[in-house]
Structure 1
């Protein structure tokens, strides 16, 4: 399937998709030909549960799948296609690389998206599942790009530039949280400001991004750490998610090139 505004997002866990592109999806929801494809490698069943969440009597992965569906319903623009690859949480890096690339590539081959987004080489947080998914997506994109078919015009990596990372870290300290340590697994990793090739102003739809984030209730300790439920999270998160930053992995970006304002900007 082809189209002028087809976007594929390939991530590891539920709630990975709640950041980074949800605002872009909202901005483009009414574009002719817009199609949103979402791929999850795992349902996050081995994750921790927020201490304030009620006791559970079913597998966490099942709950997190429901939370993901609820999040996109709250956001208001669910994916047109959503695939779960059903790998075990925490074990995606152990999947044979060729298998992972083939499964992701099979979906991309069917959809031929114009823009593909995934994790960069550091997985954003150094999580092995993230790194494996990002590398396999990059490889699948490169292989399909070489066949000369339609789509696959741009490959993006989610990222947080250092200046924003520094600002967020100062905020964490003010809220009594431990600051992130660069390079530590599970902490957000920064990338140089000059590597950001796209910065999308999604302030007008930030409330929809927040609505989706807040549905990941088992992960409140990750989504909104240290903030009690009675605090006005919409206001705080609305500021945080008002901008989406992405590095352009393909085509190669010229040093000092202009920062684009939309993931589809400049494409055919």
Structure 2
């Protein structure tokens, strides 16, 4: 059974970016899914009305993340505290070294992270993908680790501030249509982030899962011009 490591910056990134893929891995026993989250999301919103104080937000979002991870069937969560909104202020080598140690620990067959633009352009998203890429490339197993970026195709309905990837650069598509209810529940687990959820996934907070996307898209880092051997799942 293969091991897949998903590496992101914030609690909720996993549900926003590829919750359907994570749910499918669990439901179809496609492998062991491990999540690395670099921050506790303490710089985000506590909700409106607030569900906690700003001082409590990191702990609150950790609980939200672990609830979403349980719903999605994630096997293990490695949550770090590098500082929400602060990843660009710490030495990249520090974050890369932490990820390198995790690669040695979990020995993944594939690693999934953001593309260089971070989809939303968030600086933390861009830093985490840079650190992940450097850690994989420096690994003694670099040649055998499949590295992917989760992306949005240019064919998607454009949203201001969101970065898209040309369709011909997308190497892998994962059908997540059977798992849209689970995707919805995982998104709803991030209660403090209800404003963002309502904006990105209209209707989800009213349990309207039918409008969620049916496909999640990935790009092989090694070569997007030809689909590499092997598969994401």
The TM-score normalised by the length of structure 2 is 0.89
CA distance in 1, matches of 2:217, 2:162: 14
CA distance in 1, matches of 2:169, 2:102: 28
Deviations 1:165-215 (A, max 9, x none): xx2x4xxxxxxxxx51xxxxxx32111111111111110112111110111
CA distance in 2, matches of 1:150, 1:162: 30
Report the Cα offset of residue 29 of structure 1: 2.1
* Aligned residue pairs, count: 232
CA distance in 2, matches of 1:8, 1:195: 22
Q: Is the 8 A contact 2:194 2:205 kept in 1?
A: no
**Which residue, 203, 217, 221 being the options, matches 1:245?**
217
Report the Cα offset of residue 82 of structure 1: 1.2
CA distance in 1, matches of 2:127, 2:232: 23
SS at match of 1:155: strand
- Is there any run of 5+ residues in structure 2 with no aligned partner, and where? none
CA distance in 2, matches of 1:10, 1:90: 16
- Give the direction of change, closer, same or farther, for the CA distance of 1:258–1:132 in structure 2 (3 Å limit): closer
The TM-score normalised by the length of structure 1 is 0.78
Q: Which residue of 1 aligns with 2:59?
A: 62
- Is there any run of 5+ residues in structure 1 with no aligned partner, and where? 170-178, 181-186
Q: Does 1:263 align with 2:228?
A: no
Q: Which residue of 1 aligns with 2:185?
A: 211
Report the Cα offset of residue 33 of structure 1: 8.0
Q: Is the 8 A contact 1:201 1:243 kept in 2?
A: yes
- Give the direction of change, closer, same or farther, for the CA distance of 1:258–1:249 in structure 2 (3 Å limit): closer
- Give the direction of change, closer, same or farther, for the CA distance of 1:149–1:136 in structure 2 (3 Å limit): closer
**Which residue, 161, 168, 175 being the options, matches 2:153?**
161
Asked which structure has the greater CA Rg, the reply is 1
- Give the direction of change, closer, same or farther, for the CA distance of 1:52–1:188 in structure 2 (3 Å limit): farther
Q: Is the 8 A contact 2:85 2:124 kept in 1?
A: yes
Q: Which residue of 1 aligns with 2:9?
A: 12
Q: Which residue of 1 aligns with 2:209?
A: 234
Q: Is the 8 A contact 2:153 2:165 kept in 1?
A: yes
SS at match of 2:17: coil
Report the Cα offset of residue 109 of structure 1: 1.4
Report the Cα offset of residue 149 of structure 1: 7.5
Q: Does 1:196 align with 2:170?
A: yes
Report the Cα offset of residue 58 of structure 1: 4.9
Q: Does 1:45 align with 2:45?
A: no
Q: Which residue of 2 aligns with 1:225?
A: 199
Give the structure with the larger helix fraction. Answer: 2
